Amino acid sequence: MSADSRLLYRGMDIGTAKPSLKERELVRHHLIDVTDIDKVWSLAEFQWAARHSINEIFQRERLPILVGGTGQYVRAITENWSIPRVEPNLQLRESLSDWSIEITPEGLHSRLQSIDPNAAARIEPRNLRRTMRALEVIFTTGTLFSEMQSKDETLYDILTIGLMRERKEVYARIDQRIQHMLENGFVAEVERLLAQGFPADSPPFSAIGYREIIQYLSGEISLEAATVLIKRHTRMFVRRQANWFKLDDPQIIWFNMDTGTLDQLESLIQRWMSS
């Protein structure tokens, strides 16, 4: 079951390294290709759908495996978050949007950081939609966004496994992946999505890679410059993920991705299931 916030969207395949249809035929995947780019899912919608999928998997007497890199989505399930139900304030959103144009999305994120550093640490600076939502909740309720994301008793027995590589190797694999994406039609994928009528400022297009390719297609930067930016922003994302998945987190059992890792993982899971 995917906990990746971009695998939800149909058509965003190459830039998200989405599992292929053939791979999905080998083992059933959940929460991939479940909505369109112009129908943005909230965290609350993901949480509801994930719980529904988990229950369905349990009913088939199978083991749900939650996989992904969007820390907020993972924690919303594993820590059973009570997500704040604050009605949208369209006038405030418009004001925040205008402000972001004036000071840039990163500048707006900086303002959030000064007000609620815990919330800011969990939101990518370029993710304007989530930054605006956090500020909207704060300004509407007078309560810090991070304090409203309370945790309830965990609903499930959970085994959390983390896979790690040396940072140098991670960066090398990033470069290889980006080159592979470009060679396999990433630019054409973005062109096709824009041709289908999805606006360039659609929130899902804030994903690393899509915004840079859109800048290239609009003539703002060269493809070479876009590639450099994708690599840089991906490295920054890797570092930010450490805020969600820490090596010293006692709840996570970490494995180095070396020879024999798969056998160790299988053994650990079998022991955990039989305990």
DSSP secondary structure letters along 69-134: S-HHHHHHHHTTEE-------HHHHHHHHHHHHHH-HHHHHHHHHHH-HHHHHTS-TT-HHHHHHH
Say if 98 falls within a structural domain: yes
Q: Tens of pLDDT along 16-73?
A: 999 999 999 999 999 999 999 999 888 888 999 999 999 999 999 999 999 987 888 9
Say if 174 falls within a structural domain: no
CATH classification at residue 96:
1.10.20.140
Structure tokens given for 105: 């999305």
Give the structural domain span for 96.
Answer: 90-148
Q: Which residue from 171, 176, 121, 164 is spatially nearest to 145, judged by alpha carbons?
A: 121
Give the confidence band of 125 by pLDDT, cuts at 50, 70, 90: confident
Give pTM, 2 decimals.
0.81
Number of domains in the chain: 1
Residue 160: per-residue pLDDT: 95
CA distance 132 to 201: 14
Count other C-beta atoms under 10 Å from residue 22's C-beta: 7
Is the separation of the CB atoms in 128 and 100 below 8 Å? yes
CA distance 55 to 33: 20
CA distance 238 to 171: 9
Cα 197 to Cα 7, 37, 188, distances in angstroms = 20, 10, 15
Residue 179: per-residue pLDDT: 96
Say if 126 falls within a structural domain: yes
Q: Say yes or no to pLDDT of 149 above 70.
A: no
φ/ψ of 260, rounded to 5, equals 95, -5
Say if 104 falls within a structural domain: yes
Say if 169 falls within a structural domain: no
Q: Determine which helix (DSSP H) or strand (DSSP E) holds 150, and give its type and residue range.
A: strand 150-151
Say if 187 falls within a structural domain: no
Q: Tens of pLDDT along 58-69?
A: 999 999 999 987
Say if 38 falls within a structural domain: no
